[in-house]
Amino acid sequence: MQKNGDTLSGGLTFENDSILAWIRNTDWAKIGFKNDADSDTDSYMWFETGDNGNEYFKWRSKQSTTTKDLMNLKWDALSVLVKALFSSEVKISTVNALRIFNSSFGAIFRRSEECLHIIPTRENEGENGDIGPLRPFTLNLRTGRINMGHGLDVTGDITTNAWVYANRLAINSSTGMWIHMRDQNVIFGRNAVSTDGAQALLRQDHADRKFMIGGLG
């Protein structure tokens, strides 16, 4: 090989700790392989840039005259600029594990003690802002119980096999010239009363009696 450059038609093998290095001014980029022995269980290939800390790694692709950045790895952050696909788990141990954001708002998935929260940032702090004061969604990791802290709008049906507890219940009712039993929004029993049967619809318990509104089949 010539010192001023050459073309290889075969492989190039390093059998010791030699490295490939690019040195420009006082900055450098190096590639090496660490292996102390055949029994070394911590062998690895390493990539290094250095000098004052603002050198970094860039992955890019070029098609015709267009160059596209795919990924940047800097001292304190990895930026993936294309879609990332994972075939295994993604494990994050930090408290604020995931942030979905735009310029206005961010939604932070935060693990706190035994709960998982989805917390919005304050407005105009989407990318770098801290968690805001709202706690709209909380999942208790111990019990599985979910808490909605700031109201819930549901556009579909809700089906439950358990009790529903509420301080108040309101129905978006409507007014007309007639009472339309089948059309107006009302409280009704889901199952029709059997012929010659009876069914309670509303019940109020007292200490020694019960009051109810019901229907006969």
Predicted confidence (pLDDT) per residue in 31-46, tens digit: 999 999 999 999 999 9
Q: What pLDDT is stored for residue 122 in this prediction?
A: 95
Rg (CA), the chain: 33
N- to C-terminal Cα separation, the chain = 101
| Dist CA 92 CA 81 (whole Å) | 20
pTM exceeds 0.75 for this model: no
Task: Determine the length of the chain.
Answer: 217
Q: What pLDDT is stored for residue 201 in this prediction?
A: 83
pLDDT band at 202 (very low <50, low <70, confident <90, very high): confident
| Dist CA 46 CA 54 (whole Å) | 18
- Residue ranges of domains in the chain: 20-80
Q: What pLDDT is stored for residue 59 in this prediction?
A: 97
The average confidence (pLDDT) of the chain is 91
| Dist CA 106 CA 120 (whole Å) | 6
| Dist CA 154 CA 162 (whole Å) | 18
Q: What pLDDT is stored for residue 215 in this prediction?
A: 79
